[in-house]
Amino acid sequence: MTSNHPYFVGSRTSGVDGSSEGGRLSTVRLPQVLVLYSVPLLKSLQAAGYTGKLNAEPALVDGVWVLKVTYEGDEPPPVPERWHGHRVVLEKAEPANA
């Protein structure tokens, strides 16, 4: 049985002296990890002053997992090219059907 929870990488020395891989997220389930990374990304965009509606999700672009940030509004938020080593793709939200 598999779960949808991210796994933390561990080794025999993890937690012994505070070094090694203790606490790093495994990339085996990269889409779930990208969901976790999207939370502080959106918070940082809001803290930088963006007031429009934002959403982020993992997406496959050219066979590579990326963080896709979707925004509503006229001006896009200033997103970094990479967030914790992962590419960030910006996309304008489709207008809702009335």
**Residue 63: inside a domain:** yes
pLDDT of residue 13: 46
Q: Which residues constitute the domain of residue 71? A: 30-92
Residue 13 lies in a domain: no
Q: How many domains does the chain have?
A: 1
Residue 63 has a pLDDT of: 86
**pLDDT confidence of residue 24:** 56
pLDDT in tens, the chain (98 residues): 455 555 555 444 444 444 555 555 555 577 888 888 899 999 999 999 888 899 999 998 888 889 999 999 878 888 888 888 888 999 998 877 75
The secondary structure of residue 24, as a DSSP letter, is P
Q: Give the CA dihedral 63, 65, 70, 76, nearest 10 degrees.
A: -90
- How confident is the model at residue 17, as a pLDDT? 46
Contact of 45 with 55, CB cutoff 8 Å? no
HSE-CB at 31 with a 13 A cutoff on CA atoms is: 7
Q: For the whole model, what pTM was predicted?
A: 0.66
Instruction: Report if residue 19 sits inside a domain.
Output: no
Looking at residue 11, its amino acid is S
Question: In angstroms, rounded to a whole number, what is the distance separating the alpha carbons of residues 95 and 57?
Answer: 18
Does 60 map to a domain? yes
Please indicate, yes or no, if residue 41 is contained in any of the structural domains.
yes
